[in-house]
Amino acid sequence: MQVGLHTRLKPGAEERYEEYHRAVWPEVLQAIRRSGISTYVIFRDGLDLFHFIECDDYDRAIAELAQDPINIKWQAEMAPMMAIAHDFSGKGGDRLPMIFKL
């Protein structure tokens, strides 16, 4: 399963956000893998972030991460930087429809 997401940074948060992602906590990486996500890529265009995720079951993965204590702590670190955050309820408008795949 491939999922695209859109989130947005607050103005001025770009460098701090990139700093965090140059050194993602090892426990966060373990939690992501444990949830079944095999690929997670983030692209940035100005303040807009585009996430590409590959996994077996995104709804299950996101539900697990929503309850994972280390992910909760990581998201609390990210929250002050985000104008539009990743929605861990699985019901949000951050998912992007796939238009084309080769």
Domains and CATH numbers, the chain: 2-96 (3.30.70.100)
Distance CA 63, CA 69 (A): 12
Active-site residue, selected from the candidate residues 6, 21, 51, 86: 21
Q: Where residue 91 falls among pLDDT bands split at 50, 70, 90?
A: confident
Work out the mean pLDDT of the chain and round it to a whole number: 94
Please state the rounded mean pLDDT for residues 54-80.
96
Q: What is the pTM of this model?
A: 0.90
Predicted local confidence at residue 96, as pLDDT: 87
Q: Among 20-24, 27-31, 41-45, 88-92, which stretch is predicted with the lowest mean pLDDT?
A: 88-92
Asked if pLDDT for residue 67 goes beyond 80, the answer is yes
Note if 21 is an active site residue.
yes
